[in-house]
Structure 1
Amino acid sequence: MRFAVVPAAYVLLLRDAPTGATEVLLQLRQNTGYRDGHWAAAAAGHVEQGESVFAAAVREAAEELGIAIEPADLTPVTAMHRTHANGQPIDERVDFFFTCRRWAGEPRLLEQAKAADLGWYVLDALPDPVVPHELAVLDGIRTGGLPAVTAYGF
């Protein structure tokens, strides 16, 4: 049976800590109805009709963090085909993960109704809990073992 998928763009902002370790910017989800109380990518969201995944990533970073990103500064990390295996179309996903190390502006929490906190975390010392499928990607970035296309939940 054919099904529709919901595409989403994730922007993982990375920077070098004073110790030389890599840090990622994460937000603490609240009032969203999905994985509230979990840490997640600081900027992520659905791709809107007529929008490329690159445009969605740039838009989400501006809407959620108040920063400007050039599409050329987005580095594709993996495309994740993901399911909750419940048969509901809303839970059939294709997630596009990007890292970004250059942007204009200082990231700040703009959607405070949807996120309780924002912070930089070393990839080797992430807060707990992290949204599971995002943790799989962060672990892959940390270890360098992430394939171009992944599947999750199957």
Structure 2
Amino acid sequence: MSGTQRHTEPLDVHLIALRDGPAGPEVLLSRRAGDVYAAGCWHLVNGHLDGPWEDMVTALVRETREEAGVVDPTDVRAAVTVHHRSPAGGARIGMFFEVRRWNGTPQVMEPHVCDAMGWFPLDALPEPIVAYCRAGLDAYRAGAQMAGVDAAPRLRAADRDRRGPAHRGGRVLRHVGLGYRMSATVLMPSRRGATIPIQERGWARASTSQMTW
């Protein structure tokens, strides 16, 4: 990189808390509420690092305690990395961690931003669900280590050119209901990535039926 500021992206941590259910593994989800991104959608317990002094596992433990009342998750295992590009053009990295043992009983601790919490079969997730959350869980179920969720409506010409010839033809993103239709690429360790169409319900837009970049 020459003469420009180095690009950075926010880092999220996501809790894949699992328990054995009558029909197979179940995952803990919370429903977002209030004046927040993706209100009304289900999501994993998640959050951000408070600063450069906090590592990812410490942030996961803190966010889990703050949001679900569960303290000191043990046997934290890195599961999936998701790169999410939003319709607004921003991007972020989500680190998903599997936890199968903890202390306490999960419950809603922040009712102003969460109005429900429950266990759901890993192969029958509720709707609506935040798209990059689903992408991470789909990758986890598939045994993948990484997933890319692309919902950016457009790039500046210079940025688009830097992405290379494969991306210069443009992609149409159709506005559907509460958000954008987009795709998630799940990267398997032993074969090329498989692209899965998904719908992002967290980004509401009142105009423009489709966008191209």
Smaller-chain TM-score bracket: 0.7 to 0.9
Asked if 1:151 is matched to 2:154, the reply is no
TM-score, normalisation: structure 1: 0.87
Residues 106-121 of structure 1 mapped to structure 2, 5 A cutoff: 106-121=105-120
1:122-141 superposed Cα distances (whole Å, 9 cap, x missing partner): 01211111100110111222
Cα 1:142–1:32 change in 2 (3 A) is: farther
Which of these residues, 4, 21, 43, is aligned with residue 17 of structure 1? Answer: 21
d(CA) in 2 for partners of 1:11, 1:59 = 11
Higher RCO, Cα 8 Å, sep 6+ = 1
TM-score, normalisation: structure 2: 0.64
SS in 2 for 1:33: coil
Residues 6-85 of structure 1 mapped to structure 2, 5 A cutoff: 6-19=10-23, 21-41=24-44, 43-49=45-51, 50-70=53-73, 73-84=75-86
d(CA) in 2 for partners of 1:51, 1:135 = 26
d(CA) in 2 for partners of 1:123, 1:81 = 21
How many positions carry a matched residue from both structures?
146
SS in 2 for 1:54: helix
Q: Which residue of 1 aligns with 2:139?
A: 140
d(CA) in 1 for partners of 2:18, 2:66 = 18
d(CA) in 2 for partners of 1:152, 1:92 = 10
Structure 1 residue runs of 4+, over 6 Å off?
Answer: none
Between structures 1 and 2, the one with greater helix share = 1
RMSD: 1.7
> Which one has the largest radius of gyration?
2
1:5-40 superposed Cα distances (whole Å, 9 cap, x missing partner): 111110111011033x01001001011421111100
